[in-house]
Amino acid sequence: MCSIFGMFDLQPGDDLAALRQQSLELSQRQRHRGPDWSGVFVDAGVILVHERLAIVDPASGAQPLRSRDGQLALAVNGEIYNHRALRAASDYDFTTGSDCEVINALYRMGDDAADWASRLNGIFAFALWDSAAARYVIARDPIGVCPLYWGHDAQGRLCVASEMKALVGVCADVAAFPPGHVYDSADGGLRRYYHKPWRDYAQTRGHDVSAARLREAFEQAVHRQLMTDVPYGVLLSGGLDSSLVAACAARFARHRIEEDDHAEAWWPRLHSFAIGLEGSPDLAAAEVAADALGTVHHGFAYTFWDGLDALPEVIRHIETYDVTTIRASTPMYLLARRIKAMGVKMVLSGEGSDEIFGGYLYFHKAPSPEAFHEETVRKLDALHSYDCLRANKSMMAWGVEARVPFLDLEFLDVAMGLDARHKMAGAGRIEKAVLREAFQGALPDSILWRQKEQFSDGVGYGWIDGLKAHAEQAVSDREFAAAATRFPHNPPASKEAYLYRRIFERFYPGQACAETVPGGKSIACSSPAALAWDPAFAQAADPSGRAVKGVHQQALA
């Protein structure tokens, strides 16, 4: 994982030296994403800057990646998990061992960018320049695991960057580049390349997937994403999703240790990491899971004041004012710093499972399989603004890459192709039962059947309660009464939301920046549409899972 910056549509009269310097300075704003090396490419029509976090092929994979003939230049943030198969099917003259170089190879194999981009299984955001054709291609992975923003400067030049902070003050129209899309300057069009039949519930109706097939598909996803040449670990909150990731990773790590003469070395022994307030549910559950899996476990406690002190930097890094994202990003940001200090550069995480399998507690109220399925699709479509944004930017603030096996594209096809009637919860059936059943025996029952606990709750209920109490003191009644006047777009609905919005505006002023953050009421991380499932939702709307009364074991009063 790295960062990219690109400036396109340069004109013959432009001062390339000055624009090169400006591009370097703007890219430097996101250098935390790539502290290992910087690369710059300048041509008559483009400037590309790359800040590298070396995970795969550290010795020769420096970017921008050039073709042997010098015509192609490629800057990528991401990992391509099926690169070996794509290499084997290509006669392209590769110059490095980088997994990302297959993008140049695919470009050379076909003219339709939307067609060849759809062949990539990975997480990525890239900008490719073809000097012979004076053509550029920009694309983002289907789910939006890797962030990407774009906009135009005052002279109309198109700029792209991994994080919004690199474009603030330069592009008045800054916006998120949409996931699953490709922009090709050859036709000037932005097109969706990621199309899946499972988006329509009718295409999944009656379709079953055996427990063995579901388990195998996920194990394969974890195995693919262990592609690394540097020390790695797993995030282990003690919840179902992170514990399943850890269980699969531990199995593959054991195989590597058995084959390795240096079995006692720090790596490839699997290390796991957790964080929470002293005495939090997650810290206790993570210990149980780690003991069962045999990981080398590191549980870190933070105080409420540690989190509160970090809030401004957290919001600056994650580039959002969404309440639940900030609540969860803060402990993750603190954990990433600890992980970085231990020399780990990549971790596996459990994001995406709740969206695929309906794991949030409000899914207990889904009125039908079709409504359930449609909500999972809505949640997947929004992930790039919420959990993917949190996991990526909170970790990359300290140069740690987070990978998300549940969002592996091959596994996604298997899991989302399953008829939602098999995923339904309620009437005594726990959420994500189909996933739990598939992994029977892989984890202690207390972990395998642990109720869904959102990360911002699981770190300790005092975290959210303390944030609400602090906001009551930090935001006056008079300020809050004028919230809609000061913030007409997505006006804050609580003093806590007002506090975060006020901090966000310091770093990201203007309407365009505000519009990169979605809005609308939510209960337990629901989409606004799901509030219609239960009349009580509208009155109890809060992103905490404890807001779902009658379902969460420690629901809010």
Residue 557's pLDDT is what?
Answer: 47
Q: What total of structural domains would you count in the chain?
A: 2
Q: What is the mean pLDDT of residues 25-39?
A: 94
Residue 320 lies in a domain: yes
- With b meaning 16 or more CB within 10 Å and e meaning fewer, what string describes 481-512? eebeeebeebebbbbbbbbbbbbbbebbeeeb
Q: Which residues contact 6 (CB under 8 A, 6 or more apart)?
A: 46, 47, 48, 49, 75, 127, 136, 138, 158, 159, 160, 161
- Selected residue with higher pLDDT from 437 and 541: 437
Q: Which residues contact 484 (CB under 8 A, 6 or more apart)?
A: 491
Shared-domain flag, residues 142 and 216: no
To the nearest whole percent, how much of the chain has pLDDT over 70?
A: 92
Shared-domain flag, residues 226 and 122: no
- Selected residue with higher pLDDT from 263 and 507: 507
Cβ proximity of 5 and 156 under 8 Å: no
Instruction: Tell whether the model's pLDDT for residue 144 goes beyond 50.
Output: yes
Q: Is 73 exposed, middle or buried (0-12, 13-18, 19+ CB in 10 A)?
A: buried
**Residue in this structure with the two tokens 């970090």, named with its chain if needed:** 310
Shortest CA distance to 156 belongs to which of 175, 177, 171?
Answer: 171
To the nearest whole percent, how much of the chain has pLDDT over 90?
A: 82
Predicted confidence band of residue 453 (pLDDT cuts 50, 70, 90): confident
Give the residue from 419, 442, 457 where a domain finishes. Answer: 457
What CATH number is associated with residue 158? 3.60.20.10
Cβ proximity of 268 and 253 under 8 Å: yes
* CA 183 – CA 191 distance, rounded (Å): 6
Residue 212's pLDDT is what?
Answer: 98
- Selected residue with higher pLDDT from 194 and 63: 194
Predicted confidence band of residue 267 (pLDDT cuts 50, 70, 90): low
Residue tagged active-site, from 2, 159, 513, 525: 2
- Kindly report the pTM of this predicted structure: 0.94
Give the residue from 177, 195, 213 where a domain finishes. Answer: 195
Shortest CA distance to 64 belongs to which of 74, 55, 51?
Answer: 74
pLDDT tens-place string over residues 510-541: 999 999 999 888 877 889 999 999 988 877 66
Residue 248 lies in a domain: yes
Cβ proximity of 389 and 325 under 8 Å: yes
Predicted confidence band of residue 262 (pLDDT cuts 50, 70, 90): very low
Residue 258's pLDDT is what?
Answer: 47
* CA 547 – CA 557 distance, rounded (Å): 8
* AA identity, residue 269: R
* CA 317 – CA 299 distance, rounded (Å): 24
Cβ proximity of 198 and 27 under 8 Å: no
From 93-102, 198-207, 408-417, 432-441, the region with the lowest mean pLDDT: 93-102
Residue 539's pLDDT is what?
Answer: 74
Q: Which residues contact 428 (CB under 8 A, 6 or more apart)?
A: none
Residue 116 lies in a domain: yes
Around Cβ 549, how many Cβ atoms within 10 Å?
15
Q: What is the largest CA-CA distance in the chain?
A: 70
Instruction: Tell whether the model's pLDDT for residue 229 goes beyond 60.
Output: yes
Shared-domain flag, residues 133 and 23: yes
Question: Helices 304-318 and 495-507, interaxial angle, to 10°?
Answer: 50
Q: Counting runs of H as helices and runs of E as strands, what totals does the chain give?
A: 22, 17
* AA identity, residue 74: L
Predicted confidence band of residue 230 (pLDDT cuts 50, 70, 90): confident
Instruction: Tell whether the model's pLDDT for residue 30 goes beyond 90.
Output: yes
Residue 547's pLDDT is what?
Answer: 55
From 212-226, 318-332, 447-461, the region with the lowest mean pLDDT: 447-461
- With b meaning 16 or more CB within 10 Å and e meaning fewer, what string describes 206-238? eeebeeeebbebbbbbbbbbbbbebbbbbbbbb
Predicted confidence band of residue 58 (pLDDT cuts 50, 70, 90): confident
Residue 56 lies in a domain: yes
What CATH number is associated with residue 313? 3.40.50.620
Cβ proximity of 499 and 327 under 8 Å: no
CA atoms within 13 A on the CB side of 123: 27
pLDDT tens-place string over residues 335-387: 999 999 999 999 999 999 999 999 999 999 999 999 999 999 999 999 999 99
Instruction: Tell whether the model's pLDDT for residue 394 goes beyond 60.
Output: yes
Q: Active-site residue 159, yes or no?
A: no
Q: Is 510 left (phi over 0), alpha (psi -120 to 50) or beta?
A: left
* CA 465 – CA 463 distance, rounded (Å): 6
Instruction: Tell whether the model's pLDDT for residue 553 goes beyond 70.
Output: no
Bridge partners for 73 per DSSP: 66, 129
The token pair at 9 is: 């549509």
Residue 213 lies in a domain: yes
Shared-domain flag, residues 177 and 213: no
Q: What angle do CA 299, 300, 306 make, to 5 degrees?
A: 160
Predicted confidence band of residue 294 (pLDDT cuts 50, 70, 90): very high
Shared-domain flag, residues 26 and 141: yes
Instruction: Tell whether the model's pLDDT for residue 265 goes beyond 60.
Output: no
Range of the domain at 365: 199-457
Q: What is the mean pLDDT of residues 34-43?
A: 92
Predicted confidence band of residue 266 (pLDDT cuts 50, 70, 90): very low
Give the mean pLDDT of the chain: 92
Shortest CA distance to 26 belongs to which of 155, 215, 139, 170?
Answer: 170
End-to-end CA distance of the chain: give it in Å, rounded.
42
Instruction: Tell whether the model's pLDDT for residue 74 goes beyond 60.
Output: yes
Shared-domain flag, residues 268 and 171: no
Shared-domain flag, residues 331 and 442: yes
Q: What is the mean pLDDT of residues 240-256?
A: 89
Q: What is the mean pLDDT of residues 469-474?
A: 97
